[in-house]
Structure 1
């Protein structure tokens, strides 16, 4: 076991960002925990002799040799969902560092530019937009949308970025042009590899997915003095939204729809809320199914709001169509690894954003619980080592 063994690297960061209330980890872009992980990555990458730079969007690049065009790029992210698992994001980063150390020790030298990247705000847990770093880099966000991004405290992303010495976030044509191909290793966020009894797979595609905010406005009032008949309670239409989301997804095979976040205002136990906001995540095999689910929920919420004397709106916050990873790259990696399984995923990734611009591929590592975005998510030691082996062989073949 070397200094840069993946299991050892994971142990080094296992206490950073622990969430005592939710369990698991809460690491959000530019908060104390995520900054500590950034500093850790920079120190570790420099110890390998890599040159680390930060682009205009807060993405970290660790270059093996001089930066240049047509680069082989690998990596992932270090942020998490609230109360997430230890491996979602960091596994791809530590595996890349471990692979570089292995290759250096063997005498391998890449014949093309090579970088390990850490993308900022992949989960979207602070500013509400998933894959923010890769979306900004690739120009997938309009300046107006960028200006509107705020966190739960009302702080704008552009102001937080400025404080982090990133005065002009946005489309980064120079960084994008350097990527010749991108390979992202990630813990599998499902049971595919359990069912196949395999430690590693290559990704084939990402389902259509999007996020919508549901706002219901009523009349705030006293919970103890307001008669039921006199209430305009926005919580009732919000509750109907939760039920309608499950019903609409269940009608369409292969679809997934979830409301995992609800915020009542003002949020007191003895207060009828004046406003309730809920966030809905929808993923499906087709755009038609996705749009139909949203339409069903919108109708149900509108009817429930009218019955309660409230007003409701459903606003799209993000949407991504189906992503199919580069088939030639996918098949070449699968063959290099001995014809490992090829799997689709319902989870979004930075590789999915970049797929519209450069050849991309994904390596999935077995998750023995099949659980994701929760403290129970993880990867067994043997699968982690198999993932590093797969990444090493991929780099040897393509870099």
Structure 2
């Protein structure tokens, strides 16, 4: 399965992946998921938001145990973020069938759409829509960099955008959702291939618009310039300094410039801030300080600053009884596996407000993620499959 997915959406120049929602690479990944489901005799279906489901047992049954993740990527992302969870889910099912496991609950594997938010700017769109966290009207207003609306992209890919919206009936039939994911960081020790997530830091995305005045780079005096690039650059530096002081994270990783000419002073610079912290009070204070720094520098530079919050996810505490049950089940010699914090958002974090959710992490020796250098050793991945199979057996065979 891993070998089949590796070439899909891979850039020959960077070695990274460009599997964005509703593009051709996404379509290939979706076709692969359907093939895996049908080839195992599972019931395959699409939900109203374009998320893919593969069912063992009655999809309408109560107390279903669900696992899975996503198959899309950030721009030039790594191979493991998302796909490892989906591949491991099918592999865990194969393992359980090999054991002769008899399930007393329905079991499902899911591929949530547009988890990374690489195309339309909002992360976890598929799960947000299903949980009612993202409304239909809000989703219809989302556009990509080329101005294409989300519903138009879905329709072009062969899906019905008129159906999108909260899927409460489906979620009400789910007893628990467990997502396996490659570790994003380096918390697991060399002798510990698998850990359990404790909580997800609150995080969000903010768009800063710096409005200046376009002019000639070679003829406009320094004192006559209203250069938004200066205000943007100072804001980037201020964000790094204030995040370090607060013990939090602040990253400007995306920027768009108009008119984007080498010999022209920009008229507009848009910069996207990703910020995360251990608690909501710290995150709120940090973003307010960055905003204040932007406005103060903008006044000095003659630049008008606008701030728009594009997405926000509060702190997520995973279901404690489920979390602890998994940690004990996967422990050895009477000691549970490590319970890890994470600053990364996931579909499991979105669904946590509606159903019991938990996460397993597979060790990442490099600590690198959202990059072609992202990696997990084969032995650790296989340990992750075995761990997921043990967890599913424990939950779905009660």
TM-score, scaled to structure 2: 0.95
1:5: which partner in 2?
Answer: none
Q: Give how far 1:286 is off.
A: 1.4
Q: 2:26 aligns with which of 24, 34, 54?
A: 34
Distance 1:44 1:55 in 2: 17
Shift of 1:356: 0.7
Say which SS state the counterpart of residue 175 (structure 2) adopts: strand
CA distance in 1 between partners of 2:193 and 2:345 (Å): 21
- How far apart in 2 are the matches of 1:240 and 1:144? 35
Change (3 A) 1:260 1:340: same
Are the aligned partners of 1:158 and 1:169 in contact in 2 as well (CA < 8 Å)? no
Q: Could you say which residue in structure 1 is the equivalent of 2:165?
A: 170
Q: Secondary structure at the match of 1:203?
A: strand
Q: CA deviation at 1:343?
A: 0.8
Task: Give the equivalent residue in structure 2 for 1:347.
Answer: 344
TM-fit CA distance, 1:45: 1.4
Match of 2:122 in 1: 129
Q: Deviations over 1:152-207 (max 9, x none)?
A: 1111112222333223211112222222100000000000014x641000111101
Q: Which runs of 4+ in 1 moved over 3 A?
A: 20-23
Deviation at 1:133, TM superposition (A): 0.5
Equivalence for 1:220:
214
Q: 1:310: Cα distance to partner?
A: 1.2
Structure 2 unaligned segments of length 5 or more: list them. Answer: none
What is the match of residue 264 of structure 2?
Answer: 271
Q: Which one of 356, 365, 370 corresponds to residue 368 of structure 1?
A: 365
1:183 aligns with 2:175: no
* Superposed displacement of residue 34, structure 1: 1.1
Q: Map 1:213-292 onto structure 2 (within 5 A).
A: 213-253=207-247, 255-292=248-285
The one-character-per-residue Cα deviations of 1:139-161 (angstroms, maximum 9, x if unpaired) are 00133322221111111112222
Distance 2:101 2:136 in 1: 42
1:35 match: secondary structure: helix
Unaligned runs of 5+ in 1: 1-8
Cα deviation for residue 280 of structure 1 reads 0.4
**Contact 1:122/1:350 (8 A) holds in 2:** yes
| 1:251-270 deviation digits (Å, cap 9, x = unpaired) | 112x1111101111121222
In the TM superposition, residue 22 of structure 1 has moved relative to its aligned partner by 3.8
**How far apart are residue 76 of structure 1 and its match?**
0.1
- CA drift of 1:393 comes to 0.5
Q: Verify: 1:12 aligned to 2:12, yes or no.
A: no
Q: What TM-score do the two structures reach when normalised by structure 1?
A: 0.95
Alpha-carbon offset, residue 21 of structure 1: 4.0
> In structure 2, how many angstroms separate the alpha carbons of the residues matched to 1:340 and 1:269?
53
Alignment of 1:300-339 (within 5 A): 300-338=293-331, 339=336
- Residues 253 and 272 in structure 2, CA contact (< 8 A), matched pair in contact too: yes
Pairs within 5 Å for 1:86-105: 86-105=79-98
Q: 1:259-289 CA deviation, whole Å, 9 max, x = no partner? A: 1011111212222111010000111111111
**Is the Cα contact below 8 Å between 2:129 and 2:136 reproduced in 1?**
no
The CA deviation at 1:314 is 1.3
Structure 1 residues 69-218: aligned runs within 5 Å: 69-163=62-156, 164-166=158-160, 167-194=162-189, 197-218=191-212
What SS does the corresponding residue of 1:251 show, helix, strand or coil?
A: helix
Which residue does the alignment assign to 1:386? 383
> Distance between the aligned counterparts of 1:225 and 1:178, measured in 2?
67
Change (3 A) 1:260 1:183: same
